[in-house]
Amino acid sequence: MESISLLLGEALSPYQVTLAPSGVHGECLVTLKSSTGAIVVERAFSQAQLSDKRLLTDVVDGLRRDLMIAEGRLEPCVIAALRNAAQDKLLASRN
- Is the model's pLDDT at 14 over the cut of 90? yes
pLDDT of residue 35: 92
> Span 22-40, mean pLDDT?
91
Dist. CA 44–CA 23, nearest whole Å: 9
H/E stretch holding 21? strand 16-21
User: Where do the structural domains in the chain lie, given as residue ranges?
Assistant: 2-94
- Strand-by-strand arrangement of the 16-21 sheet: 16-21, 28-33, 39-45
> Within the chain, where are the H helices?
2-11, 47-51, 53-70, 76-94
pLDDT classification of 6: cutoffs 50, 70, 90: confident
Q: What is the pTM of this model?
A: 0.74
- Is the model's pLDDT at 95 over the cut of 70? no
Distance of CA 55 to the CA centre of its chain: 10
Condensed to tens digits (0 to 9), the pLDDT of residues 42-84 reads 999 998 899 888 999 999 999 998 898 888 887 777 777 878 8
Dist. CA 27–CA 23, nearest whole Å: 5
Dist. CA 24–CA 60, nearest whole Å: 23
